[in-house]
Structure 1
């Protein structure tokens, strides 16, 4: 990585007061170890615990006025990262399911392999079977849509160059439920230089369950919770609307605009 390159790590968080201090300290130590200047921005999604206080002094904290959910908060985090003006923007969730060294490796890879985007591909996931199965189905859908496989289509650990990221953020609704899936589809369709770095997926660092999106915590649920089923149905509808209907309509409009006039 060039000496002038500074990395901004953006982190959406909801009720992660227990995990954040050690996670943020580890991220900073990992970048210090490879001599990369780093700034960290935490987007607190109107947590009901002390998430903002826990991150204060370790990161810049931006607190949302109301709870918006993970997707919109992730997009808001990216927007904050773009405002930082760093040549590399890294996104990771606030539950601490990655090692700091892996986060730094993903950032380094963006320059080392001259890529537009680098995904951290999770290995050893401890998520319940239904979440891993859902990820597999979405990966298959992306392959069918784009003719290109994306190994971990919804990974929350990603590194972007600002110009690439602006286009991706502008291409999805601000209230998108699954922005990273939209990003992966757009990246595959546009032929961006996508690179993948294997990273270890670890259990969320906090013992409490309230920070997780589905309230699973460390327990092993046999059946998917109803909330996840409803979310998956809404997300599939969103993918249809944004990535199939809208893109298809745009393609037809462009084709009509370039078609030769008929006499």
Structure 2
């Protein structure tokens, strides 16, 4: 992936603002890192960031909110710059476009919290349901927000169903929504799995769902309403969506076969 670029307000990538430093000089580990990839979401990103900040503040949790602008071309980056000046727990990373999957993997790898939560920035799944995951975390390693009443085109729902069957066939079992962009990981369980996934993976959450099953992680699924996109547009449509699904299938099979050979 591309080298890190300077963050907003003179901060360097990897320096989380608003975190207390230990006497040894190393930043204190927050309870929670929220990882949010962003691409061309100028119409909604300010509202999304402020909504998540307010929700996390109400939970009284020590957190960092890590947003990754993946080469947006609609002014999203400038909006994030302004937000970073006002919100001390917001860490903004701007990078050349590398794709949704690699951006998620970068965020997972740079997150420092004891727990790592990933959510997309399109406002299709809001922060009002996060507390249900957070309050049930102690006895689980992975908590998933399963999309309910999903407002997505039929083709996307078909691909999600096929992905679930693929994970079940390759890894032995599968959760209901293998690619849910609303997931809370115990970082000590997430980190070893990241080392087994290529950095250019298109849909890493699908593979992580499979590895979680293979590793016997304690998984809890919670239904979360899916409200659909209100602004912007999806980046994958028609034949590009099918091509992406085929790529995800090949990569998932490759990781599963490698897992079998290693065991």
- Cα distance in 1, alignment partners of residues 31 and 259 from structure 2: 34
1:80 to 2:107 alignment? no
| Selected match of 2:240 from 208, 227, 234 | 227
> What are the equivalent positions in structure 2 for 1:74-153 lying under 5 Å apart?
74-81=104-111, 85-111=112-138, 114-153=139-178
1:165 to 2:187 alignment? no
Query: Contact 1:90 / 1:107 at 8 angstroms: preserved in 2?
Result: no
Partner of 2:218: 193
- Cα distance in 1, alignment partners of residues 216 and 49 from structure 2: 34
Change (3 A) 1:73 1:5: closer
TM-score, structure 1 as length reference: 0.82
- Cα distance in 1, alignment partners of residues 45 and 134 from structure 2: 20
Partner of 2:92: 61
1:154 to 2:179 alignment? yes
- Cα distance in 2, alignment partners of residues 205 and 21 from structure 1: 14
Change (3 A) 1:238 1:154: same
Query: Contact 2:174 / 2:209 at 8 angstroms: preserved in 1?
Result: no
- Cα distance in 2, alignment partners of residues 180 and 17 from structure 1: 25
Q: Secondary structure at the match of 1:110?
A: coil
Residue 5 of structure 1: CA displacement? 6.5
| Selected match of 2:207 from 182, 187, 196 | 182
- Cα distance in 1, alignment partners of residues 135 and 39 from structure 2: 27
Partner of 2:24: none
Change (3 A) 1:115 1:163: same
Query: Contact 1:19 / 1:96 at 8 angstroms: preserved in 2?
Result: yes
Larger Rg: 1 or 2? 1
Query: Contact 1:91 / 1:159 at 8 angstroms: preserved in 2?
Result: yes
Query: Contact 1:27 / 1:103 at 8 angstroms: preserved in 2?
Result: no
Runs of 4+ in 1 over 6 A off after TM superposition: none
Cα deviations by residue, 1:213-245 (Å, 9 ceiling, x for unpaired): 315xxxxxxxxx01111111222111222222x
Partner of 2:36: 11
Unmatched 5+ stretches in structure 1: 216-224, 252-263
For the aligned residue pairs, the C-alpha RMSD in angstroms reads: 1.7
Query: Contact 2:133 / 2:143 at 8 angstroms: preserved in 1?
Result: yes
Cα deviations by residue, 1:60-113 (Å, 9 ceiling, x for unpaired): 11011x2111110110111221xxx321111101111111111333233222xx
Query: Contact 1:88 / 1:107 at 8 angstroms: preserved in 2?
Result: no
How many residues are paired up?
A: 229
